[in-house]
Amino acid sequence: MNLLVYIVLFFALIWLGLSIFSRMSEKIKCRTQHTSYLKGLEAIIEGKKDKAIKLFREVLEKDPSNIESYLYTGNLLREKGEVKKAIKIHKNLLVNPLLNKEQKNKLKEALAKDYIENKDWAKAIPILETLNNKNPKNSVLADELIDSYEKLQKWDKAFNIAKKTFSPEKLSNYATYLACEVSKKDTKKANKFIAVGEKGNISYAYYLHGKLLVLEGNESEGLELIKKSISIEPDKAYLYLPMLEEYMFKEGQFGILEPYLKSKFEENPNNIYILASYISILKKRGQIERANEILEESIKNFDLSDYKILLSIVIISNEIDGNMVSEYLTKIKNKMDKRKLFKCSKCNTETEEFNWKCNSCGSFGTINHVRY
């Protein structure tokens, strides 16, 4: 009887010892995983992507069910440019039946970013649409969906999402941008977007509307809209005046164009572009002396320490008296020809072509001329 008791106690002690050892091992394992995971997060903050990936892989070797480590690893691989590896990790993880709702949404967002980075917008869109339907107030998801629609030229769908998330002012600017994109191929659709831009009093929307009317043969109404665009935003006159001058000059409307430009310059005496157009018209009409008088009177309105202003005045003077500045103008022109033509006033990105939307920072109406 005593022997049996001892045997039972012996095995009970062995079992107890193994249980304690197992629990201690599990705690050590969890502590190690937790340490590696935290170090991985620290490495992300420090910008050490390779180190972070290594630490998260250490976690996964000991605990393959650690969802967050997989997610971070995939995101880091995408940021390193290894997009296909990121897609593979995130896709495989999405079929895991143990994922909760929050984890599924995070993975879908990550996978959509993978596809966008891979320029596979057709695959990103269905994921983003699902996420956007669940959370329409998420502006980050909305912007990604809008950008993806734009890449595939799905303008109406992009606009419909923008209507739900953009402020009225931003929507008016965005509609004007869309009108720019579609005006050459679909004037009917362009007019729909232009109407939204005009509702927000966007100068370029009126210009686009006027331009389309002029091209359709309705020059009178079209030129009035172009004039309106100048009145709304004189600083963008360099965009709007050339077409106005071309058609009014072609129709011989000197008697209308000259006083119009004079009145605009009187309203905006610091606007070098309007002055240049006014001087140009006087020159074309042979009124050289009057043009020279107006230029001399107007110079005091400008900051002559501004290189661009000085260059513009030299160019205007050259139209009146070429012998005075032709050599100097040629040297400056050669230098300026090497520069970009337009710059975003918000992010300072330079570009050779005008667009109502900055492709770098996404701002509207911030692209401005940097040389005359």
Find, among 186, 179, 249, the residue nearest to 219 by Cα. 249
Average pLDDT, 10 consecutive residues per value, the chain (372 residues): 55 52 44 68 84 86 83 91 94 88 92 96 96 92 96 96 95 96 93 97 96 92 94 91 84 79 89 87 84 82 72 72 55 59 89 88 88 50
Beta carbons of 111 and 91 less than 8 angstroms apart: yes
- Whether 235 maps to a domain, the answer reads no
**Residue type (1 letter), 199:** K
pTM of the model: 0.75
Query: In angstroms, rounded to a whole number, what is the distance separating the alpha carbons of residues 273 and 83?
Result: 48
- Whether 155 maps to a domain, the answer reads yes
- Whether 231 maps to a domain, the answer reads no
Domain limit, last residue, from 112, 138, 165:
165
- Whether 100 maps to a domain, the answer reads no
Residue 14: the pLDDT is 59
Find, among 56, 121, 53, 58, the residue nearest to 81 by Cα. 53
Kind plus residue range of the DSSP H or E element containing 342:
strand 342-344
- Whether 10 maps to a domain, the answer reads no
Number of structural domains found in the chain: 2
Residue 289: the pLDDT is 85
Burial of residue 197 (CB within 10 Å: 0-12, 13-18, 19+) is buried
**End-to-end Cα distance, the chain:** 110
Beta carbons of 240 and 230 less than 8 angstroms apart: yes
Domain limit, last residue, from 165, 190, 218:
165
Domain of residue 144 covers 121-165
Structure tokens at 367: 């692209």
Residue 216 phi, psi dihedral angles, 5° rounding: -85, -5
Residue 118 phi, psi dihedral angles, 5° rounding: -85, 5
- Whether 132 maps to a domain, the answer reads yes
- Whether 357 maps to a domain, the answer reads yes
Beta carbons of 73 and 58 less than 8 angstroms apart: no
352-359, Cβ contacts within 8 angstroms, sequence gap of 24 or more: 354/239, 355/177, 355/180, 356/173, 356/176, 356/177, 356/180, 356/204, 357/173, 357/174, 357/177, 357/180
Residue 257: the pLDDT is 83
